[in-house]
Structure 1
Amino acid sequence: MKLLLTGASGLLGAAVARAAAAQGDEVVGVVGRWPDPVPGVARQVALDLAEPAAVVALVQATRPQAILNCAALAEPAACDAAPALAQRVNVDLPAALAAAARAQGARFVHVSSEQVFDGAAPPYAIASPVNPLHRYGRQKVESERAVLAADPGAAVVRAPLMSGNSLGGRRSVHEKFLEAWSAGKTMRLFTDEIRAVCSAESTAAALLELAARPDLAGVLHWTGAEPVSRWEMGRAVCAHFGFPENWIEPVPRAALPEFTATRPRDLTLDLAPLDRVLRVKPERFAAAVARLVLPAWWRGAGRR
């Protein structure tokens, strides 16, 4: 299968590229400013993802059988700092890709986010009311609606916080911890903020299976197998690498009310129906942690 993959240099996109190539797919990977080759990408194209017309032109030129949109400006603070840019990448791009996919007869799979929910009433089913707490979540809701309006046969996958080893070593959960520790900081981690963290590899496998399953359309959920707190994430990462647990500090969300106002408390998702109909199954957090490695920059810097 020929796949057009946007966000190919990101944590999830790179995992998709590797998995797709391993199963014999031809990957045309769209990156922004990433300068190096992405493993698994047969043809790498540098385009400004904030210019959807250029990406649509690539769709028309390459005529892929499936399009997987893993591109996003995913940090809420970054979306607030550059709202127009975030709107183009998070909403305009997927809407344009959905329309292009339908026109070309290609399967379209768009990655949305658990952040469409407010975290107050988990677990969230597909039909649960959305109520995002920040701009990024609102843009993801808008993207879901725009994609399905343009291509009702598309799959829109709400994905969780991701674990894994990114190309640059600074994208995933444990890499963010490492950045703080390299600066000599103690990570203050919430004991009562819950995420069903999923590995990029598990999510990539689900997305690729969906690319070949046009019978599965509309909004879908995919996450890890069990919910974990931020504190539990930190403990697992410290244990895996043999770091002292005093590098992390447990705190309740109530201790930092000004910080948690726009942070959903518990984003546990109901995985029906994908947990029953896909060959790939949700992965436990411990299995994902076992594959984590220290990035090259850490091996040269370490803990200050």
Structure 2
Amino acid sequence: MKVLITGSNGLLGQHLIPVFARQGNYEVIATGRGANRYPHPDNYIYEAANLRTAASVQQLIDKHQPDIIVHSGAMSQVDECEKNKDACWDTNVGATRYLVQAAEKCNAFFMFLSTDFVFDGLSGPYAEDAPVNPICYYGTSKVAAERLVHNSKLQWAIIRTVLVYGISSDPHRSNMITWVRNNLQQGKKIKVVDDQWRTPTLCQDLAEGCRLIADKKATGYFNISGNEILTPYDMAIKTAEYFNLDTALVEKISAKSLAQPAPRPAKTGLIITKAETELGYRPHSFAEGLEIVAAEL
């Protein structure tokens, strides 16, 4: 069975490749912008593609005729989306439209990666059937893309997740864990938000959740995240304690003091009961996630 993974140079994409490739029953085609940045070249094919053009997408799908498409490629920097709305829309909505149209021609099972930022954060954590109401442009673009998938002729799954953390092979990509560790190791003070709540998600867990959905070709909306509600400050303190670093260097602040271009929902987090019951999804605790990240470092 052929599975096409978009956004394969990103954090999730680099974890999706091995999760599917090691199963033995999947032929993996990975695609991203530019050269392949995943350093392990075995057991999959890499194709560079510009998903923002219909012709490039159609050429990719025509060539490989995938049975399953896992669309994880996106513009996900929230402030950048707010400042550059055209690029955000082209990447998050336009590319999804082209992929859906091409997928309809080969009747592929379509899996779309979405976000907790489709919600306003007034009544989290959220179940799959909670009404969407984004408060930033990134969330707005993801809602529009979700609707394209939902209204398509395809069999589909929309996978929402939260605050994904883990280690990427791209040295330019940072994450919460390494940012906290590196600054505290250098004796630098850091300011971390304490009035936003999330259910942080280990990247390996998210990739495994996607595989479980693909194996069953389970349709509908699925929340795939961690199961602990934490603030970024909580995460920073737990990270400092794990690496035996000075927690006094971690200062709690309000999100309002950051004056970020894009507003963030205050309390999201996802309820994962459906994924646990229907898929057998079992995420790691944040403490276990720290151990896994530390081993990769």
Pick from 230, 247, 250 the counterpart of residue 248 of structure 1.
Answer: 250
Name the SS for the 1:8 alignment partner: coil
State TM-score, norm by structure 1.
Answer: 0.88
Aligned twin of 2:6: 6
Name the SS for the 2:132 alignment partner: coil
Aligned twin of 2:288: 287
Aligned twin of 1:196: 199
Query: Taking every aligned residue pair, what percent have the same amino acid on both sides?
Result: 26
Pick from 164, 186, 190 the counterpart of residue 187 of structure 1.
Answer: 190
Aligned twin of 1:213: 216
1:227 aligns with 2:206: no
Contact 2:122 2:266 in 1 (8 A): yes
Pick from 79, 82, 85 the counterpart of residue 80 of structure 1.
Answer: 82
> Displacement, 1:233?
0.6
Q: Structure 1: how far apart are the matches of 2:48 and 2:236?
A: 35
> Displacement, 1:98?
2.1
Aligned twin of 1:98: 100
Aligned twin of 1:43: 45
Pick from 57, 65, 68 the counterpart of residue 63 of structure 1.
Answer: 65
Name the SS for the 2:125 alignment partner: coil
Q: Structure 2: how far apart are the matches of 1:90 and 1:182?
A: 37
Contact 1:30 1:47 in 2 (8 A): yes
Q: Structure 2: how far apart are the matches of 1:132 and 1:101?
A: 27
Name the SS for the 1:273 alignment partner: helix
Name the SS for the 1:118 alignment partner: coil
Contact 2:239 2:290 in 1 (8 A): yes
Q: Structure 2: how far apart are the matches of 1:154 and 1:204?
A: 17
Q: Which moved more, 1:155-164 or 1:72-81?
A: 72-81
> Displacement, 1:259?
4.3
Contact 2:9 2:36 in 1 (8 A): no
Aligned twin of 1:137: 139
Contact 1:50 1:85 in 2 (8 A): no
State TM-score, norm by structure 2.
Answer: 0.90
> Displacement, 1:176?
4.0
> Displacement, 1:11?
0.6
Name the SS for the 1:212 alignment partner: helix
Amino acid aligned to 1:79: C
Q: Structure 2: how far apart are the matches of 1:103 and 1:290?
A: 44
Aligned twin of 1:300: none
User: Which stretches in structure 1 are left out of the alignment for 5+ residues?
Assistant: 297-304
Aligned twin of 2:159: 157
Q: Structure 1: how far apart are the matches of 2:10 and 2:259?
A: 30
Q: Summarize deviations over 1:58-84 as a string: whole Å, max 9, x none.
A: 111101111101101001111123222
> Displacement, 1:179?
6.6
Aligned twin of 1:118: 120
| Number of aligned positions between the proteins | 294
Q: 1:85–1:258: structure 2 CA closer, same or farther, 3 Å change rule?
A: closer
